[in-house]
Amino acid sequence: MNYVTRKDFLRWSVMGSVGLYLNSCHTKPTKENIQSENVIINDTSQRSTDLSPDVTFYKRSDPEYEKLRTGFNKRIQKFPLIIAQCKSSQDISVAVKYAQKNNLAVSVKSGGHCFEGFSSNNDGLVIDLSLMNTIESIDEHTVKVGPGCTLAQLNDHLLPQNKIIPAGSCGGVGIGGLTLGGGYGLFSRKYGLTCDSLLDITFIDGNGNILTGSQEKDLLWACRGGENGNFGIVSEMIFKTYDTPAAFRSHRFKSHKADAAHVEKMLEKWFEVTAELPLSCFSAFVLNNKTVYILLTDFEHHEETVEAFKTSLGPLTDTIQIGKPQPLEQALKVFRGKSAPLFFKNSSAGLYENYETIRPFIKEVISKVIETPGMIYQINTLGGNIQQPEFEKTSAYPHRALPYLSELQTYWEVASRSKYYETKFEEVQSIFKANNITAQYRNYPDIQFNDWEKSYYGKSYERLQQIKTKYDPHNIFRYEQSVRSNV
């Protein structure tokens, strides 16, 4: 049952995010036009075609189609002509060549959690990687992971071996999409973004060539924050792993029935107290209607940070919960979130340098969120080792200098509420736009961002365009906000 309570919102929003606006609800195809499409693609009626022993092509009339076409965001409904479910790099190569021959746009789907549904399309081909979810240890500190592996599967495999990859925590999110857009989580301030632990890739380009990151350095650079279905498909990922910490603590500070002035005061204090956060800590500031919820986590033991939070925020909060040390496996379960699809519109609401970035206008944002039940405004701490110069050099992720990532979220329960929330959402986003908040996180896309190229990719965009030209010259990988060739 997809019923979202305020408690869910709070739990969710701790590490969650999501969002697109494209109200392009495509009409479900009729039987007639399915048949006419068969004329164009006449070999898709076979499950396992003779093209490859493992790739399976599903068309609209197949019973599996409906489940496979569905993404995590129920607000976005798309209807690809064909879904190719692949089990290997060779399968993907076959599917790409097939799309090229039949002039079909290709979308790539790993975990299907893209806020804006960019992992699907209307009338094109979707390459589904959900079965490519194996995890294989190479040595004590290196692991090979399929892009379709979810974060829950990854943690279930790695944690019993006392290993982690610094990624997000929501169980259903795919490691494929998360890593290729950057990827942050509870361990990022110490170990960097998820893409900073990516050592190598296997990659299928727009001509169906199977390549590796160790041979194609530009591709590996792009896959660290700049390759969400822009010019090819990552079929294997090799990651560096880290040892799990001995214990994990999470602390919560809450203020109920807060008015805008109170929220503003708390936010300013929160920015102050997080400015010098130890690397092992993560914090999130969450405003959900009139409730402020602050999370502080730590996988070492920085008593002085907890004390600083208590001193600074204690007088402004109603309840403080100081967590006991827990084994990591147990502690992370709280952050897994829901796995069933939801209606939502979520997106990045800017990356900030500090409180001064938003001080002039934030009260207006806070007031709007307070008067809109179902809307959440959240800011997460990045910074720390994410800012290491070495990571800056070796990755396309462009926003390392900005240590705060904000997200605007809205959740609802029935399709008929979509228009209302989309409108409310855009009202808040327009405040950020009017105040020149432009740096945005690619993994939290918004179809309404104007200058999305620079917003997501900043100074990396031109190099990404060259890579697009080289590896996908016919632009078969394309969606509303995909990198465009510069020739």
Ligand X SMILES: Cc1cc2nc3c(=O)[nH]c(=O)nc-3n(C[C@H](O)[C@H](O)[C@H](O)COP(=O)(O)OP(=O)(O)OC[C@H]3O[C@@H](n4cnc5c(N)ncnc54)[C@H](O)[C@@H]3O)c2cc1C
User: Where on the chain is the footprint of ligand X (CB under 6 A)?
Assistant: 15-18, 72, 107-115, 118-119, 129, 147, 168-170, 173-174, 176-178, 180-181, 183-185, 227-229, 233-234, 337, 443
User: Nearest approach, Cβ of 244 to ligand X (angstroms)?
Assistant: 18
* Alpha-helical runs (H) found in 181-230: 188-191, 217-223
User: Nearest approach, Cβ of 394 to ligand X (angstroms)?
Assistant: 18
Buried b (16+ CB within 10 A) or exposed e, 320-338: eeebeeeebeebbeebbbb
User: Nearest approach, Cβ of 441 to ligand X (angstroms)?
Assistant: 7
Closest residue to ligand X, judged by C-beta, is 177
445: which 2 tokens? 């896309």
User: Nearest approach, Cβ of 309 to ligand X (angstroms)?
Assistant: 21
User: Whole-angstrom Cα distance, residue 241 to residue 158?
Assistant: 9
Kindly tell me which of 176 and 384 has the beta carbon lying closer to ligand X.
176
User: Nearest approach, Cβ of 17 to ligand X (angstroms)?
Assistant: 5
Kindly tell me which of 335 and 355 has the beta carbon lying closer to ligand X.
335
Kindly tell me which of 150 and 289 has the beta carbon lying closer to ligand X.
150
Kindly tell me which of 17 and 291 has the beta carbon lying closer to ligand X.
17
In sequence order, the 6+-apart residues with CB closer than 8 A to the CB of 385 are 188, 189, 190, 191, 192, 279, 391
User: Strand 125-128 vs strand 82-85: parallel, antiparallel, or unpaired?
Assistant: parallel
User: Nearest approach, Cβ of 481 to ligand X (angstroms)?
Assistant: 9
Kindly tell me which of 18 and 287 has the beta carbon lying closer to ligand X.
18
User: Nearest approach, Cβ of 396 to ligand X (angstroms)?
Assistant: 13
Exposure of 5 by Cβ count < 10 A (0-12 exposed, 13-18 middle, 19+ buried)? exposed
Helix (H) or strand (E) holding 253: strand 249-255
User: Whole-angstrom Cα distance, residue 19 to residue 348?
Assistant: 8
Kindly tell me which of 180 and 328 has the beta carbon lying closer to ligand X.
180
Judge whether 349 and 437 are in contact, CB under 8 Å.
yes
* Alpha-helical runs (H) found in 224-278: 260-274
Kindly tell me which of 210 and 320 has the beta carbon lying closer to ligand X.
210
User: Whole-angstrom Cα distance, residue 22 to residue 479?
Assistant: 12
Kindly tell me which of 151 and 369 has the beta carbon lying closer to ligand X.
151
Distances in whole angstroms, Cα of residue 452 to Cα of each of 11, 106, 316, 457, 478: 29, 21, 37, 8, 15
User: Nearest approach, Cβ of 114 to ligand X (angstroms)?
Assistant: 3
User: Whole-angstrom Cα distance, residue 81 to residue 37?
Assistant: 8
User: Nearest approach, Cβ of 180 to ligand X (angstroms)?
Assistant: 5
Kindly tell me which of 336 and 417 has the beta carbon lying closer to ligand X.
336
Helix 362-370 and helix 260-274, axial crossing angle in degrees, nearest 10: 120
